[in-house]
Amino acid sequence: MKRKFAYYPLNNSSFLLILTLAGSASMPFETAQALDWYDGRVQLHGFFTQGVVYTTHNNFYGNTQDRIGLDFREIGLNVSLQPFSRLRLSAQGTSRWAGKMDQGEPWLDYALADFTLFNDEERRIGIRLGRIKNIFGLYTETRDVASTRPGVILPQPIYFDRSRKFALSGDGVHLYGEFEVPGGNLDVRLMAADLPLNDQSSKTTLTGSLNTPGHLDQDRMTPGVRIIYETDNKRWRGGFTYLSLSQRYRPAQYDAMAGRQVLIEPWIISLQYSGEQLTLTSEFSQRYSEFIYREAIPKQKITSQNWYVQAQYRFLPSWELLLRYDDSIDNIDDPDGKDYAATHPSAFAHNRFSRDWVTGLRYDVTSSFMLRAEFHHVDGTNWLSRLDNPDPSKLERRWDMLMFLASFWF
């Protein structure tokens, strides 16, 4: 059965114009629903998001210092098919613009076959094969879908945008199980996936250099596990994630960067309370990294620590207030970065941490169109991309950011 469906032209300038008109709230917005056929066995969903970024210092998602940056856009379309009750096929293509980190390249976000192996009232066990969204914390799976995010951007300490590609999805296999346990349900996922690492943004982040003509190869598939417990009434949700990435930098023929092996092992604890109006969320994560250069040089070991606390308050049915504090330190043995600055002549201590106070407002114009405004007061620069800020000496320690966003989804 076909449904009414408001659509927007894909042409960027007219898309922007429509969003601007919508921002003035004078345009009647038709509620769009998903497109589905054959009793929901074929479904089409998608989203368009346009953001606006202004920073007092430093660049985030494009050239935004003292200017209004429009270089933040997210588009996605997904299709799912269910030929048999036990088998679902689904795929999503996305395109994202975020300064020099993402420049609109079409990206196959996931393409998977989901097979139910066992199914009764208390348990479901299944397997997914193909390109699958990574499991990491509460938000990674839908991090590019603005309506599912708690704010304009996710808390950067845990959901780093500068090295986002390898956090998105991987090619491999996921085993999943959902079990009824006393007081609630347990959602268990096990993954083994090959993660894409060779985009410039990830290479720059993992190697620390802008000039990396070589390749990052995975030593092995990345194993991961996520366990989430949710109470019966869905008020409380809490869980644990662990991943272990091991990769090797293979220098090109003429390469200033030496070969190295990089091991990254993040874990994260998540806890969320969802009431009718109030949602409280906190996640705490540590990431153990090991850099192995040559046998003669001792291993470099660093543990970084990232966390946030966040409150969302829906004070009216269509209005939501956001308050968040997030905190990131690159090295728990050197939280204020002073040792690093003292031992690296061209480095600055504030490039090793960030503390961000965030306040924001969400207005749901319809059930499929929303507007957002958000203010960040940041101390530190460690989650800024070097691609947008090529000269680290020009980074200002304290900076503010104002963001606006309009998003449509169906």
Partner 1 sequence: MPTFGLGTRRQQGDLRFGEKAASGKIRRSAFALMFFFQLLPASAGEVHVIANPSVTTPSISRNFARSIFGMRVQQWPYDGGSVKVFVLPDNHAVHEAFCKTVLDVFPRQMRVAWDRQVFSGTGPAPIEVETEEEVLNRVATTPGAVGYLSKEKIDEKKVRLLPIK
Residue in 65, 90, 270, 389 binding partner 1, rule: CB under 8 A: 90
Quick count: other Cβ atoms within 10 Å of Cβ 120?
A: 8
Residue-by-residue DSSP string for 267-322 = EEEEEEEE-SSEEEEEEEEEEEEEEE--TTSPPEEEEEEEEEEEEEEEEETTEEEE
Work out whether 276 is an interface residue with partner 1 (CB under 8 A). Answer: yes
Note whether 316 and 309 are within 8 A (CB). no
In 10 A of CB 90, how many CB atoms? 18
Shortest distance in whole angstroms from residue 264 CB to partner 1 = 22
d(CA 88, CA 81): 6
CB-wise, 79 or 257, nearer to partner 1?
79
Q: How far is the CB of 142 from partner 1 (least distance, A)?
A: 4
**Shorter beta-carbon distance to partner 1: residue 41 or 377:** 41
Q: What are the structure tokens assigned to 235, written together?
A: 């008020």
Indicate which single residue of 133, 165, 372, 386 sits in contact with partner 1 (rule: CB under 8 A): 133
- Return the structure tokens found at 227: 């366990």
Contacts with 146 (C-beta within 8 Å, 6 or more apart), sequence order: 47, 49, 74, 152, 370, 372, 405, 407, 409
d(CA 380, CA 244): 27
φ, ψ of residue 324 in degrees (nearest 5): -150, 145
Q: Residues touching partner 1: how many (CB under 8 A)?
A: 53
Identified binder of partner 1 from the candidate list 78, 163, 205, 289, rule CB under 8 A: 78
Site membership for partner 1, residue 286 (CB under 8 A):
no
Minimum distance between the CB of residue 400 and partner 1, rounded to whole angstroms? 30
Residue from 71, 102, 141, 356 in contact with partner 1 (CB under 8 A): 141
Residue in 56, 95, 116, 218 binding partner 1, rule: CB under 8 A: 116
Check: CB of residue 371 under 8 Å from CB of residue 10: no
Q: Of the ranges 42-50, 261-269, 333-341, 383-391, which one interacts with partner 1 (CB under 8 A)? A: 42-50
| Interaction site with partner 1 (CB under 8 A) | 31, 33-34, 36, 39-41, 43, 45, 47, 76, 78, 80, 82, 84-86, 88, 90-92, 110, 112, 114, 116, 119-122, 124, 128, 132-133, 141-142, 145, 147-148, 176, 178, 180, 185, 232-234, 274-277, 314, 316-317, 367
